[in-house]
Amino acid sequence: MAQKAVVLLSGGLDSATVLAQAIADGMEPVTLSFAYGQRHSRELESVDRLIAHYHLRHTYRVAVDLSQWGGSALTDLTEPVPVAGVNPHAIPSTYVPGRNTVFLAIALSLAEAQNATAIYLGINAVDYSGYPDCRPEYLAAYQRLAELASRAGIEGRAPRLVAPLIQDSKVEIVHRAVRLGVPIALTYSCYQGLPQPCGVCDACRIRDRALREAGYPELATAEEI
């Protein structure tokens, strides 16, 4: 019988690739997505499409409204989404304070309740927007928390935090996605939530550049900028 793994699924390319990796690793995925007050629900439509594509049986969606206190262009509609390009020396306004920490806390609760042995997440420390909660040291600290703050951890069976993409470039992620058969066209990464991705926000720029460099320009969402 396959072991269960909670998979954080946002609807984007990275999380879809992590879902496919968990399946390839022989895990039985338990997907967890969030309505966290993000500025659009388009990405959650992609979550539903991915769930249908993979015929998943164990799926959860949690509402936790981080927009109440703002602090991010992704949760505060009065803040514009940056479109000037990625600045590698600054944390952008699309950073959502504490988002991964909140998500992982809920994932840890779900994993313990479901006797899951792993939590898969799509954080990446290479081609990313500078978010502090996407780094290996963050993941290591949270693994220690999982071991300290749960009955499963005290009993020596804390779920492993698995981040298969953490050291991959975005081009490598695209290659992995293709190798694993990820339906890339079903994924959605744009911050704007438009019917067609805007092509100019950080998420679109990083994704489209990687698709072109990996040899799949037909999957990019905008003309090269």
Closest CA to 59 of 47, 69, 43: 47
For each of the domains in the chain, give its residue range(s) and CATH number, in order of start. 4-169 (3.40.50.620)
DSSP calls for 143-159: HHHHHHSSHHHHTT-PP
Q: Which two tokens mark 155?
A: 């009993």
Sign of CA dihedral 170, 117, 58, 102: negative
Look up the pTM and report it: 0.94
Q: DSSP letters along 86-101, please?
A: --TTS--TT--TTHHH
From first to last of its 225 residues, what are the pLDDT tens digits of the chain? 799 999 999 999 999 999 999 999 999 999 999 999 999 999 999 999 999 999 999 999 999 999 999 999 999 999 998 887 767 678 888 899 999 999 999 999 999 999 999 999 999 987 666 788 999 999 999 999 999 999 999 999 999 999 999 999 999 999 999 999 999 999 999 998 888 899 899 889 899 999 999 999 998 875 544
